[in-house]
Amino acid sequence: MNEPSKRKSSTERHEAIDVSDFVYAATGARVRRLTMPDGKHWFPAVDVCKELGHTNSRKALADHVPDGHREMLETVTGGYGLSIPAGRGWRRDLHVISLQGLILLVNACTKSACAPFKQWVAEVIETVQHEGSYSLDKAEVQPAEPGAPVAYAMPEQVAEAIVRLEAHNLRLDEELAGGQREAIALQKEMLTAHQDALAVQQATLAVQQAMVRAMERIADRFDTLVLERRTPGTAFTAPPTTESVLAHWRERLSVTEDVWAVAVVIAPVLVEQGELREPLESIAARTGLSVHRVNECLRLLRKHACIRPRGGTEDGAPVYVLPQA
């Protein structure tokens, strides 16, 4: 984009070839530009060198652009009483070159996109050498207003260079768009694969958890059967009472304080309701023990055949009954 000048000249200037098209055909890119009130154009040297492939802009300027066609931005704008343009990297110490300096850098570069323009420049010089001058052909349609500037047709080489550059840019845009579409499609495939893998992991975890619970129930049942076979008279001969159950448990194992606290809570429930469905958290709250410790006490009672598991609740917690139930 071109920076507007701070003031206009008293006489409007008309260029035979639009400077933006001229520079585009010369460099193969749209370059920033400052146009002074007298119509002279200046370009950031670093922009031009970048587009033309000059890796060392200072050396390129020293080798190919005379002092009269390269200046500091502050010097150029100060000569017209203008301030430094705001933003976009316009600095006081920015090196700028004139249009002639830009053409000299184009002639010194090896970028293939500049070849048509350089050929046209060579043709212009050869024509001047043979005929003493070079002029553009007038456009087929001229302005109807009296006194309007004459319109010239763009040189064929310049027009062809612009057409080729635009076609090249269109191809690059299409390739970029195609690459972006492929990248988006690949990202979607990767996301779907990740979601599928996550679903498989969740299903595997659920199966593993179910297997662990089943193995624990089998182990508990096995322990109960072994103890029932080794220890005669594990079942009560008379309808149990809370007192008889607790007394029976005292005979079967060495009851610690924690175990006895759990036993006192669950024995009445087993006798009155026939089964224990109370969550571990509830038993822990009533006994003052931790949930882990309550679970260990229940496991000890199962191991000594004081209670046995029978099925489970809807949330997967085990249900306990007395051995004869």
- 325 residues of the chain, pLDDT tens digit each: 455 444 444 334 567 788 888 898 888 888 999 999 999 999 999 999 999 999 898 999 999 999 999 999 999 999 999 988 887 778 889 999 999 999 999 999 988 878 888 888 888 889 888 888 887 766 554 565 665 565 565 666 676 766 666 665 666 567 777 777 777 878 888 888 888 888 888 888 888 888 888 887 787 777 666 665 555 554 445 678 999 888 888 887 777 888 999 999 999 999 999 899 888 898 999 989 999 999 999 999 988 889 989 888 887 778 999 987 5
Given 120, 154, 188, which residue is the final one in a domain? 154
Helices 257-273, 242-252: axis angle to 10 degrees equals: 140
C-alpha span between 99 and 201 (Å, rounded): 66
Same domain, 120 and 235: no
CA dihedral (41, 47, 52, 54) in degrees, to 10, reads 120
Counted residue by residue, the chain has a size of 325
DSSP state of 223: H
pLDDT computed for residue 292 by the predictor: 92
Given 130, 154, 178, which residue is the final one in a domain? 154
What is the residue range of 84's domain?
2-139+149-154
pLDDT computed for residue 236 by the predictor: 47
Q: Is residue 218 part of a domain?
A: no
Tell me the β-bridge partners of 192.
Answer: none
**Tens of pLDDT, residues 145-178:** 665 565 565 666 676 766 666 665 666 567 777 7
Same domain, 8 and 121: yes
Q: Is residue 159 part of a domain?
A: no
pLDDT computed for residue 155 by the predictor: 67
Q: Is residue 198 part of a domain?
A: no
Same domain, 27 and 129: yes
Structure tokens, 37: 């009130």
pLDDT computed for residue 6 by the predictor: 40
Q: How far is CA 24 from CA 17, 30, 81, 96, 242, in A?
A: 12, 6, 29, 17, 101
C-alpha span between 166 and 96 (Å, rounded): 26
C-alpha span between 125 and 123 (Å, rounded): 5
**Tens of pLDDT, residues 30-39:** 899 999 999 9
Q: How many domains does the chain have?
A: 2
Q: Is residue 108 part of a domain?
A: yes
C-alpha span between 73 and 57 (Å, rounded): 16
Same domain, 13 and 120: yes
> Which of 153, 43, 126 lies closest to 118 in space, CA to CA?
126
Instruction: For residue 71, count other CB atoms closer than 10 A to its CB.
Output: 20
Q: Is residue 317 part of a domain?
A: yes
Tell me the β-bridge partners of 320.
Answer: 276, 309
Same domain, 8 and 133: yes
Same domain, 125 and 9: yes
Q: Is residue 301 part of a domain?
A: yes
Strands 41-44 and 33-35: antiparallel
Q: Is residue 310 part of a domain?
A: yes
pLDDT computed for residue 219 by the predictor: 75
C-alpha span between 25 and 161 (Å, rounded): 6
CATH code of residue 306: 1.10.10.10
Q: What is the DSSP string of 170-214?
A: HHHHHHHHHHHHHHHHHHHHHHHHHHHHHHHHHHHHHHHHHHHHH
pLDDT computed for residue 139 by the predictor: 54
pLDDT computed for residue 196 by the predictor: 86
Tokens 């390129």 locate to 60
Given 131, 154, 177, which residue is the final one in a domain? 154
Same domain, 111 and 9: yes
Tell me the β-bridge partners of 70.
Answer: 97
Q: Is residue 309 part of a domain?
A: yes
pTM for the model: 0.45
Structure tokens, 69: 């066609």
Same domain, 128 and 240: no
DSSP state of 109: -
Q: How far is CA 78 from CA 45, 84, 90, in A?
A: 18, 9, 14
